[in-house]
Chains A and B, each alone.
Chain A
Amino acid sequence: MVAAERRYIVGIDTGGTFTDATLIDTVTNEVFIDKSPTTPHDFSLGVVNAIGEVAKWVNLDLQGLLDRTRLVKHGSTVATNALLTRNGARVGLITTAGFEDTTLIMRAVGRVAGLSIEQIKHQSTATKPEPLVPRACIRGVTERIDARGDVVIPLNEHEVREALRTLVEGQEIQSLAVNLLFGFINPSHERRIKAIFDELYPDRTDLEITLSSDLAPVFREYARANTVIINAFLARTVNRYVDGLGQRLGGSDSEGGTQLLLMQANGGIVHRDEMTPVGMLQSGPAGGIIASKTIADLLGHGNVVSTDMGGTSYDLGLIVDGFWSYMREPIVERFHISWPIINIESIGAGGGTIARTDHVTRRLVVGPQSAGASPGPVCYGAGGTQPTVTDANVVLGYIDPDYFLGGRIKLQKQLSEEAIRTKIAEPLGMSVVEAAAGIYQVINGHMADLVRKSILPTGRAPSEFVMYAFGGAGPIHTLALTAATGIREIYVFPTSAVFSSFGIASADVIHTLTASQRYVMPADPDDLNGALQDLDAKLIDVMRKEGFEPNQVQLRRTFHMRYRRQLNELAIHIPAGGYGHEAEDQAGDVAVDSPVRSYDAHDVKLIMEEFERRYEQVYGPGSGYSRAGIEVISITIDAIGPAPKPKIAEHPGAGLDPSRALRGHRPAYFGGARGFAETAIYDYTELRPENHLMGPAIVETPVTTVVLPPGTSGTVDRYMNLALRLEA
């Protein structure tokens, strides 16, 4: 098989119910999608089945497709699942003596980490999770390194030997994590522990040993310990899965073969040899933001609020200046970790979200509980009795009971009406329609509040953002909720399944490295450059293994800065080429042909100014406090290896008039004096680029419904997306 014939890229996303496969033909730019049931007992089976399904679209069998496939890009839940079910290795932990309880104390905050606000407020019931490493498998060794990296107490090697012996032979651990205080500044003691292990157990190559200074050389020992522990805990399960899948996909991925790439929570796709087990956690939700970034690049949007409203939750992620941000203190399951995870916030607001009336206050309460998929909304007729957001949408005429999910489920409108009447309308003394409209508005209010709250810390005006609305329920609500946020422009993707899969299939290779090192500003440029060069070199080395030449790699630098005495940092994006020099890339990323440049004293001054500018942008004019001094606390670098971006199909314009897509009219409720209005219903599959729609209007697709209230309009773009606007 010659490489030239490897024309396909396959994207695979393992979900809770289905495993989705996307096939991109890089020659014709055609995209095909299909799915197969997820197989929890062995996820790789579902993956292979899904590839087999999508192969049929190009008249190939599984092997035939794999022989012609260059890359398989895979988002997997195997790590998340293993952590949730506690199906991992028996891990031993070696740490600084005196601090054996650090991962049990959990900084106290472990009692509430990962809980909802309601659970946190119920103080008498909040408890800590079972620790991943029991006390019996934790050993302290006497040693101490101070905050500058100086050795205060030399490593007690006798204790190291004793600890290793009792853990390896006594506790029969399968994986060893090492996390010493300030090991990230001075890794000598951690490395010596590994050397002693190798000397004591030269044959135990099966026993993985993870050093914090290798895996996550960042400050704050508790989250770092969790990172090392979780990685050690997951390594076997994840590696076994990846190896097994590699086998199923044809074994060899040597030069010219099919390469298996795995999605990581930092939004990157990496070669399986460069994959980190802990990085696979929460990579699923990251897929949505990767897709949004791909689309944003395509459509030329720098600032995007990416939203996804499904059955139970409303998930929101931001792209600012062309890139996503990482969570400040990421939590996986109930543990803080130090690992870049794309920042996504979630609230309980979806089609299945339940509305009720509080019996004491007679308040109309919407969410956060959900009727889920079963029994689901009342109108499903599957036994649900509590009215949901979907029931309200049926009553309001937004959803056609006979054309829900393309007619696959027939909805019973009278059941929705009855439930809303008895549970909401009568207790509150409203009509059924008023009550339904109330549910619609309240849930919109919750989502709008999340949008506003998420934009606030960026220091940017809402009008600088466009909103993307994904998910089955999203386009019904998005125009109505956006009005309260100040965003004027919204995109919905009636073919969003294609767009999402396409986004993942064309995701870039990204490796992220953070180094904690404090620089009191203005720092000596030589110190700064030295540290940056070290990080760059490490990343370039990894990217070389990923198949990228140094000149193909983009480096994106984020400085975590604060005023001295502050304890929280602001993430400031600093161009790798410095400030004040011409020919810089607009977004700040180093273009392929623009070499990374060393910073000089002038750059350092400009970096400080940029921090102060951003600080005041976020916290308001006059909030800056330069007298306190400025410091850099850590530096994060994303190394980005751009993946080929096949062109997505464009369609010719067909003029403003959408009437050929008009399917008819039905009454839909838009409140005020208007009440129910006869509303034009369009068939999305018949719309063409340039077609212009004026609200009130409803566009139906087999997977979702787009509601355009009065005062809004929409245009079909050349990719067949709907670009919606609020009229001023």
Chain B
Amino acid sequence: MTHPEPIATHVDPVIYEIFRHRLETVLEEGRLAIRMVSGSSVVIEGGETMCALYKSDGTPLLVAQGILLHCVGARDFIKHCIEAYEGSPGINDGDQFFYNDPYIGGQHSCDQVVIKPIFYNCERVAWVGSVMHTVEVGAMEPGGMPASATEIFQEGIRIFGLKIVDGGEFRQDVFNTITMQTRDPHMIGLDTKGRLAANNIIGRTYLELIEKYGFDVVRDASEKIIDESEAQARALLSSLPDGVWTSRIHGDDTSGGEDKPYRVVCTMTKRGDGITFDFTGSSPQNKCSNNETLPAAWGSLFVVLASHLFWNIHWSNGIFAPVTVVAPEGTVVNCRFPAACSNGVVTSGMMITESAHECIARMFYAAGRYDDVNAGWSSAGGGPYFGGINRKGELVSNMILDNFASGLGGTPSRDGVDTGAQMMNPQSNINDVESLEFNVPLMLLARRQMPDSGGFGKRPGGMGPESAYMVYGIDGLMVGSIGQGRRAPGSFGLFGGYPPGLQEMRFALGSDVRDWFAAGRSPRSADQLTEINAQTILDTPRTLPIIPTREYDIVIYNMSGGGGYGDPLERDPELVRADLERGAISADTASLVYGVEADQTTLEVDVAATEACRAMIRRERSDQGNVARLHNPSPAARTRRLVRFHESLAVDQKADGSLVTICLACDRELADARGNYKEHVGRRERTLSEVPLRHLKNGDRPWVVYVEYACPGCGTLLEVDTYCPETDGEERIIWDTRLDLDALLASSSREGPP
């Protein structure tokens, strides 16, 4: 167990507190300035921007609240700048450097960064950096995240550090050279100016603080900020149980001429005050751009660290100190140059986030911190993007970001939030339809919450959105899509809850939809698209290179919901009825998954029939014939509960000192607690083909099946894992929780009997 350096105590605590608050305020001011100036809906509506201060060597000092992906972003650019340009052309007072190469830092070439050194008495004392996602980079396809790219050279401009401000002088030549390589120089120009303004605001205040308190005080207070975060992070980790947790999340990759599943595997080891995330076992890198560079993988992991594990600790370099990452090169979590990588952030990156999220949620549950436990959040990143020339002859290019209204996971105490957020952005926000239609050549025919999109469970995952976009006010538009999740859910259910539904995208090209309009009708769902007499109906993958569309062509697109929590049969039948009433689930789901028999018109629950139906489902689950049954002595032989690590499972100690995993629903002993209980309970593999959104409209096979584990005694559903034969081979069973039981025994005996 490592110990942090003692916190610098020689900084006056009062000055420190004032200094720290001032810095936080000014970073927020900088971020707001960017948002006010920017033209990117990603920035304004999605909040995709971040300002941070760094030490003179690039170590992050303090990061403003904003998009979590970018917390580490500028660090790597600053380190590169110092290494590469200290000598020539030199780093001088008043300079600002523009960067966007994703093999240096950031998530992808869309993440454009301007860094500025801060000088005091001719000495470089700090850096400030502003990172912002920009929706055009002059790549092979519009929108900045080209689905067709198979190498980085097709993904637009790569800037390795250009002085856009040189000794305080704005370089119009550099500015023009960057912006004019893109399809939308005006927007890129606005965004770049926003970053310059934010850096100026922050840099100025930092110097004011130095002038007020003196350089030594500011330097020491800055160190203390980092030390403090580390101390808090380590204290938190020390308070959590030791152990090893494993998660496996599946994605589908369909570009670059491939159509295949892939996976991210995360093994999290928590020992003492340190934590390791090991992604060994993740799939080899994709041919297309659904890959993360190593800096990007750090950013994606940071999303869940900042929002779940370390949410109440200041974001500085200190919270990285206890964290180790293992990411084998040549995989989807650390691709090898010159692999394309622009879409990693919405594909393999989100799987990094969710796989680590699953491990952390299970660890929090074992620690009894139930408020912090959520089942999986939707990993429906990305969305449709488009470009074209409008009737005034202007280039238009943009992206739809309804993914920021994805569903969230169920929790021990409440249902998941419908159309809630994406974890990378704590203040997720989507456009008003009117705001969107003022700016882009589209008309929305629907935007609604998608029934059955959330994972089923005692506490279901929240619904995701479904939208219908019609090309409008423009003769033709190239439309593509990025993301994944059509043939694999991309996230997880917890403790018997199901993973979220699948995501589909359907085009109707060349239809008679205008006749519908004249008759006072409009198509609002994917099924209705088959009724409008279209020349072509296309069911496409999520990663889709652009295809040409004409005015009045329609595309319907849904984003997945959150993961379910707990056995669906434990959901109160009256809540299931309410779910039916508000359209959260279909009638099939109510009866097949929740075992609730309700009247088709009044929706009144038939209590007796529901009881019978649920009993039947439980019997089916418990009677799988694959269980090597443990002898089951009387409960009295158990002397104490060591830990409850699962909604329905706990580890008890027996009189002979041995440890057993027991089912809390029926008090049955399931297995030796030092092994994986899943080897000893009912297991079946199945698809839920009866339920909408668990099968695909055109009949394609989902890449994964559900592996359901149930208590052989009472039939309580304990876990629903996903298994993909193509990626997992013989690894059918995941050992998701391996608590360090000896450490628990030692600490609980120290504390005396419970």
Contact = CB atoms under 8 A, between A and B. Distances in A.
Contact of A117 (B38, B65, B196, B434): B65
Contacts of A155: 520
Given A154-B520, A442-B17, A628-B190, A109 B427 contact: yes
Nearest to A158: B520
B186 A366 contact: no
Given A109-B429, A125-B371, A153 B520 contact: yes
A423 interface: no
B109 interface: no
Interface string B473-491: 1000000000000000000
Interface stretch (A99-107, A662-670, A689-697): A99-107
B33 A101 contact: no
A152 B417 contact: no
Contacts of B583: 135
B103 interface: no
B434 A221 contact: yes
Contacts of A158: 520
A273 to B, nearest CB: 31
Contact of B228 (A112, A154, A223, A363): A363
A445 B38 contact: no
A619 B33 contact: yes
Contacts of A154: 517-518, 520
A343 B208 CA distance: 28
Contact of B18 (A121, A126, A362, A445): A445
B512 interface: no
A449 to B, nearest CB: 4
B189 interface: yes
A446 B21 contact: yes
A122 B524 contact: no
B110 to A, nearest CB: 17
B41 to A, nearest CB: 6
Given A135-B582, A360-B231, A625 B438 contact: no
Of the candidates A109, A156, A446, A452, the one having the most CB atoms from chain B within 10 angstroms of its own CB is A109
Contact of B517 (A106, A127, A147, A153): A153
A515 to B, nearest CB: 14
A627 interface: yes
Given A98-B524, A121-B312, A182 B434 contact: yes
B426 A124 contact: no
B630 interface: no
A101 B190 CA distance: 34
A564 interface: yes
B159 interface: no
A627 B520 contact: no
B371 A105 contact: no
Given A97-B522, A105-B449, A118 B312 contact: yes
Contacts of A106: 419
Nearest to A120: B426
Interface in B538-556: none
Contacts of A97: 446, 522, 524
Nearest to A429: B9
A144 B517 contact: yes
Interface in A528-584: 563-568, 570
Nearest to B422: A108
A363 B16 contact: yes
Contacts of B518: 154
A611 B582 CA distance: 47
B405 interface: yes
B116 to A, nearest CB: 13
B308 A123 contact: yes
A565 B414 contact: no
B448 A360 contact: no
B430 interface: yes
B307 A568 contact: no
Interface stretch (B22-30, B290-298, B637-645, B663-671): B22-30
A567 B40 CA distance: 7
A106 B311 CA distance: 24
A98 to B, nearest CB: 3
- Of A456, A565, A628, most buried by chain B (CB within 10 Å of CB) is A565
B82 to A, nearest CB: 27
Interface string A123-146: 111111000001110000011101
Nearest to A141: B520
B627 interface: no
Nearest to B517: A153
A108 B420 contact: yes
Contacts of A101: 419, 447-449, 465
Given A98-B522, A623-B37, A623-B197, A124 B374 contact: yes
A181 interface: yes
Interface string B409-446: 00100100111110100111111111101110001111
A105 B419 contact: yes
Given A108-B428, A146-B437, A98 B446 contact: yes
A125 B371 CA distance: 7
A493 interface: no
Given A102-B447, A364-B17, A449 B522 contact: no
B404 A619 contact: no
A438 B13 contact: yes
A126 B428 CA distance: 12
Interface in A569-616: 570
Interface in A143-165: 143-144, 146-147, 152-156, 158-159
A629 B186 CA distance: 9
Interface string B309-334: 00110000000000000000000000
Contacts of A248: none
Nearest to B22: A449
Given A100-B448, A107-B430, A146-B437, A123 B581 contact: no
B44 interface: yes
Contacts of B636: none
Interface of B: 7, 9, 13-14, 16-18, 21-22, 25, 28-29, 32-33, 35-41, 44-45, 65, 170, 184, 186-187, 189-190, 193, 196-197, 200-201, 228, 231-232, 235, 307-308, 311-312, 371-374, 404-405, 411, 414, 417-421, 423, 426-435, 437-439, 443-449, 465, 468, 472-473, 517-518, 520-522, 524, 581-583
Among all A-B residue pairs, the 4 with the closest Cβ atoms? A98-B446, A445-B18, A156-B520, A565-B39
Given A105-B447, A108-B405, A445-B17, 15 more contacts: A97-B446, A105-B419, A107-B431, A108-B428, A121-B311, A123-B421, A124-B371, A124-B374, A152-B517, A153-B522, A438-B13, A442-B18, A563-B190, A565-B186, A625-B193
23 contacts: A98-B447, A98-B522, A101-B447, A101-B449, A105-B448, A108-B419, A108-B430, A125-B371, A135-B581, A147-B434, A154-B517, A154-B520, A360-B228, A360-B235, A363-B13, A430-B13, A445-B21, A453-B28, A457-B32, A564-B186, A565-B39, A622-B170, A625-B189
